[in-house]
Structure 1
């Protein structure tokens, strides 16, 4: 393992910002630290970088314990949310900064800067100053400066937060390709689920200073291990007592999370699975580009579901049947996926 963290804790003023976090990261992986604001993500990043001292716990890089090492001794590149470029320096001099601190030979530094200008799509901009650049270009300079000394670990603190949506999406793809090409182990902080899912090899979900779950984006989405992860990742409907839903009578009177894609909507005559259907009334319909987003009232619940553009369009006031294929049942300690027992083979027959 490239990085191994054991029982990492950070306390500010008697309160834990990070509590007992343990994880391992393989070399070359791109990891997203995902969670709501104030959850401890940046504090974890700063402890890895040496900018914060842990209250307790251990940090290992390649088997070497590093929590007492100075930041400059850890072989880390850091990209801040606000770029933190030196305004009085040109782009080329900003990129060269870490190399100059290491007192690299001038020729070697010049060659490395030229290489990085080309690699980050900044060729021809070396003599400009930060105020002459767009937000996306500034962030590329910040990346180039961070990787110039060839760090073993790259840390990114919400690197796209200050950039507009269109450029942010372009930079995500660029970052993914750049990290794959360089093979640098990278950890980036974000509260944007789409960003984490699109960019990261693995995601670590952080909530109230604790690591809720670590895994690939698909595994976390498909099999959430805690109630928080189930509700936080993706769209979800929460119900208080899932045993009141058809097909889930034996699930017990527990809370449940139902993703919109777990629900199939039918108009009268579209399916023969009448015994497994909840009856509902459409309250609103929104076009979302790839599908219809439909809000349906059924009993005491209002549930969000998706409907294919290939099917007949629903209107507010339409009576529909809802087939809830599965749900995520949970209590305060754990949760599990439960399938609808009211379904029979064959699957829904369309007529």
Structure 2
């Protein structure tokens, strides 16, 4: 279970910062919505460990994690920038999410192929990120995040730029993750994404 209690953050020069307070149980999704600059991405960065809060706590299963390094947290993220390694092909980008030394089992390699096939990217394993469209890059980033099998998945506009077929496929994958007990935090302007995936809504 995720508990965020009186989590405060203020950017340098900012007069009024943000304070967050909520909880999330395994298998549930909370959708956060608000205009640009309302603090959605800031919240995800705080939970992921890319920003350090000024005060407050982030607990996973009653264990404080706000001072842990990002790779020590039970979290995986998909942000709008995709965060792919440009010098590595698609399969290697995904594989690094499974094992930093790329020591992958046959089952993990099969999972990569299946993930690419389900997202319309069958045969793309040797493609380089620079050869992909923005929507294709986003699909690769989402497959990598899902296959990491972390209990908390952070999603910042994860389906932006995708056609309806790709969106439906990825929504199905995210619903399956929820059924496995993965907790999701979704920042999205897409009302359909929120309607399909979210159990709770939070307007910032």
CA distance in 1, matches of 2:193, 2:174: 15
Q: How far does the alpha carbon of each residue in 1:19-51 deviate from its partner, in whole angstroms, 9 at most, with x for none?
A: 2x2111121112211111111111111111011
The gaps in structure 1 that reach 5 residues or longer are: 207-351
- Asked if 1:143 is matched to 2:138, the reply is no
Task: Report the equivalent of 1:152.
Answer: 151
CA distance in 1, matches of 2:4, 2:33: 17
After TM superposition, the runs of 4+ consecutive aligned structure 1 residues lying more than 6 A away are none
Task: Report the equivalent of 1:196.
Answer: 194
> Which structure has the greater CA radius of gyration?
1
CA distance in 2, matches of 1:189, 1:57: 21
Alpha carbons of 1:55 and 1:171: their partners in 2 closer, same or farther (altered >3 Å)? Answer: farther
Shift of residue 65 of structure 1? Answer: 1.1
Task: Report the equivalent of 1:106.
Answer: 104
Secondary structure of 1:12 counterpart: coil
Taking the TM superposition and a 5 Å limit, the aligned residue runs for 1:1-351 are: 2-13=1-12, 15-19=15-19, 21-101=20-100, 103=101, 105-108=103-106, 109-161=108-160, 163=161, 167=163, 169-183=164-178, 184-206=182-204
The gaps in structure 2 that reach 5 residues or longer are: none
Could you say which structure has the higher strand fraction?
A: 1
Alpha carbons of 1:18 and 1:170: their partners in 2 closer, same or farther (altered >3 Å)? Answer: farther
Q: How far does the alpha carbon of each residue in 1:42-69 deviate from its partner, in whole angstroms, 9 at most, with x for none?
A: 1111111011111111111122111111
- Check conservation: 1:154, 1:186, Cα contact below 8 A: yes
Q: TM-score, normalised by structure 2?
A: 0.86
Alpha carbons of 1:120 and 1:185: their partners in 2 closer, same or farther (altered >3 Å)? Answer: farther
Q: How far does the alpha carbon of each residue in 1:302-328 deviate from its partner, in whole angstroms, 9 at most, with x for none?
A: xxxxxxxxxxxxxxxxxxxxxxxxxxx
- The count of corresponding residues between Structure 1 and Structure 2 is 199
The two structures, once aligned, show a CA RMSD in angstroms of 2.1
Alpha carbons of 1:85 and 1:114: their partners in 2 closer, same or farther (altered >3 Å)? Answer: same
Secondary structure of 2:4 counterpart: strand
CA distance in 1, matches of 2:159, 2:104: 32
CA distance in 2, matches of 1:195, 1:147: 17
- Check conservation: 1:81, 1:160, Cα contact below 8 A: no
- Check conservation: 1:9, 1:16, Cα contact below 8 A: no
CA distance in 2, matches of 1:24, 1:181: 21
- Check conservation: 2:84, 2:93, Cα contact below 8 A: yes
Secondary structure of 1:37 counterpart: coil
Alpha carbons of 1:128 and 1:116: their partners in 2 closer, same or farther (altered >3 Å)? Answer: same
Shift of residue 202 of structure 1? Answer: 1.8
Secondary structure of 2:113 counterpart: helix
Secondary structure of 1:58 counterpart: strand
